[in-house]
Amino acid sequence: MKADLAALAYLVSGVLFILALRGLSSPVTSRAGNNRGMLGMAIAVVTTLWVANVVDQLTWGMIVVGIGIGGLIGAIIARRIAMTQMPQLVAAFHSLVGLAAVLVAGAALYSPSAYGIGSEGAIHTQSLIEMSLGLAIGAITFAGSLIAFAKLNGNMSGAPIILPARHLLNLLIFAAIVALIVFFVMHQPYWAFWTIAGLSFVFGITMIIPIGGADMPVVISMLNSYSGWAAAGIGFTLENTALIITGALVGSSGAILSYIMCKGMNRSFISVILGGFGGEVAVAGKAETRPVKQGSADDAAFIMKNAGSVIIVPGYGMAVAQAQHAVREMADKLKKEGVKVSYAIHPVAGRMPGHMNVLLAEANVPYDEVFELEDINSAFAQTDVAYVIGANDVTNPAAKSNPQSPIFGMPVLDVEKAKTVLFVKRGMGSGYAGIENELFYRDNTMMLFGDAKKMTEEIVKALG
Amino acid sequence: MEAIDPIVFRFSIFVLAIFVGYYVVWSVTPALHTPLMSVTNAISSVIVVGALIAVSVAVGSSVESSATSWISKGLGFFALILASVNIFGGFLVTSRMLAMYRKKEKK
pLDDT of residue A456: 94
For A338-388, write each residue's pLDDT tens digit. Answer: 999 999 999 888 888 899 999 999 999 999 999 999 999 999 999 999 999
Mean pLDDT, rounded, for B77-85: 97
Q: Do A110 and B72 touch (CB under 8 A)?
A: yes
pLDDT reported for residue A289: 67
pLDDT category of residue A409 using cuts at 50, 70 and 90: confident
CA distance, residue B78 to nearest chain A CA (Å): 7
The answer to whether A114 contacts B42, with C-beta atoms less than 8 Å apart, is: no
**Chain A closest CA to B107's CA: distance in Å?**
13
Query: What's the CA gap between A40 and A101, in Å, rounded?
Result: 20
Q: Show residues of chain B in contact with A96, CB under 8 Å.
A: 45, 82-83, 85-86
How many CB atoms sit inside 10 A of residue A183's CB? 14
pLDDT at B90: 96
Nearest-Cα residue of chain B relative to residue A38: B91
pLDDT at A279: 42
Choose the catalytic residue: A393, A414, A443, A451.
Answer: A393
Average pLDDT along chain A: 89
Burial class, A402, CB count within 10 angstroms (exposed 0-12 / middle 13-18 / buried 19+):
middle
Q: Pick B50's closest partner by Cβ from A238, A252, A369.
A: A238
Confidence of residue A406 (pLDDT cuts 50, 70, 90): confident
Alpha-carbon distance B4 to nearest alpha carbon in chain A (angstroms): 15
Which of B10, B26, B41 to probe by mutation at the A interface, max A CB count within 10 Å?
B41
H or E segment and range at residue A341: strand A340-345
Query: Residue B96: is its pLDDT beyond 80?
Result: yes
Distance from CA of B20 to the nearest CA of A (A): 7
Shortest distance, CA B12 to any CA of chain A (angstroms) = 10
Contact B52 A49 (CB under 8 A): yes
If you ran DSSP here, which 8-state letter would residue B3 be given? P
Q: Which 3 state secondary structure label does DSSP give A77? A: helix
Q: Which residue has the higher pLDDT, A240 or A116?
A: A240
Q: Is the pLDDT of residue B12 over 70?
A: yes
Could you give the 3-state DSSP secondary structure of residue A442?
A: coil
Comparison of pLDDT for A335 and A268, the residue scoring more: A335
- From chain B residues 51-80, the ones with a CB under 8 A of any chain A CB are 51-58, 62-65, 68-69, 71-73, 75-80
Q: Is A129 exposed, middle or buried (0-12, 13-18, 19+ CB in 10 A)?
A: middle
pLDDT greater than 90 at residue A20: yes
Could you tell me which chain A residue has the CA closest to the CA of B81?
A70
Kindly report the nearest CA distance between residue B60 and chain A, in angstroms: 12
Confidence bin at B61 (pLDDT 50/70/90): low
**Can you give the pLDDT at residue A274?**
75
How far is A216 from A298, CA to CA, in rounded Å? Answer: 36
Q: Is residue B107 over pLDDT 60?
A: no
| A326-352 tens-digit pLDDT | 999 999 999 999 999 999 999 888 888
Chain A positions touching B51 (Cβ under 8 A) are 66, 100, 103-104, 107
Q: Is A332 on the interface with B (CB under 8 A)?
A: no
* A203-230 tens-digit pLDDT: 999 989 888 877 888 899 999 999 999 9
State the best of A8, A55, A96 to mutate against chain B, taking most chain B CBs within 10 Å. Answer: A96
pLDDT-wise least confident of A10-19, A287-296, B32-41: A287-296
* pLDDT confidence bin for A292, thresholds 50/70/90: confident
For CA atoms A32, A34, A37, A43, give the dihedral sign.
Answer: negative
Give the C-alpha separation, A286 to A428, whole Å. Answer: 13
Band of residue B62 on the pLDDT scale cut at 50, 70, 90: low
Task: Enumerate residues 194 to 213 of chain A having a beta carbon within 8 A of any beta carbon in chain B.
Answer: none
Beta bridge partners of A385: A310, A420
Asked if A20 contacts A40 with a C-beta cutoff of 8 angstroms, the reply is: yes
Of A21, A106, A245, which is closest to B75 when you measure between CB atoms? A106
**Could you tell me which of A378, A94, A391, A409 has the C-alpha nearest to residue A254?**
A94
Among B85, B91, B103, B104, which would you mutate to test the A interface (most chain A Cβ atoms within 10 Å of its Cβ)?
Answer: B85
pLDDT tens digit sequence for A21-79: 999 999 999 999 999 999 999 999 999 999 988 888 999 999 999 999 999 999 999 99
> Among residues of chain A, what percentage have pLDDT more than 70?
96
DSSP structure string for A281-327: ----S--------B--HHHHHHHHHT-SEEEEEE-HHHHHHT-HHHH
| DSSP state letter for A446 | E
Query: Edge-to-edge, what's the strand order for the sheet holding A309-314?
Result: A370-372, A340-345, A309-314, A385-389, A420-425, A445-449
Across A453-463, average pLDDT: 93
Contact by Cβ (8 Å): A275, A162: yes
Point out the residue among B13, B49, B84 whose CB comes nearest to the CB of A44. B49
Among A25-39, A205-219, A235-249, A431-445, the minimum mean pLDDT is found in: A431-445
Q: Which one of A41, A64, A224, A372 would you mutate to disrupt binding with B, by most B Cβ within 10 Å of its Cβ?
A: A41
State yes or no: pLDDT of A177 exceeds 50.
yes
The answer, for A19 touching chain B at a CB cutoff of 8 Å, is no
pLDDT at A32: 96
Residue of A nearest to B98 (CA): A31
Going by pLDDT thresholds of 50, 70 and 90, the confidence category of residue A280 is very low
B44 against B103, higher pLDDT? B44
Name which residue leads in pLDDT, B45 or B60. Answer: B45
The confidence score (pLDDT) of residue A445 equals 92
Question: Where residue A281 falls among pLDDT bands split at 50, 70, 90?
Answer: very low
Task: Name the residue among B55, B72, B85 with its Cβ closest to that of A74.
Answer: B85
Q: Point out the residue among B13, B49, B90 whose CB comes nearest to the CB of A48.
A: B49
In this structure, chain B runs to a length of 107
In the prediction, which pLDDT does A121 show?
78
Q: ∠ at Cα B52 (B49, B53), nearest 5°?
A: 90
A414 among known catalytic residues: no
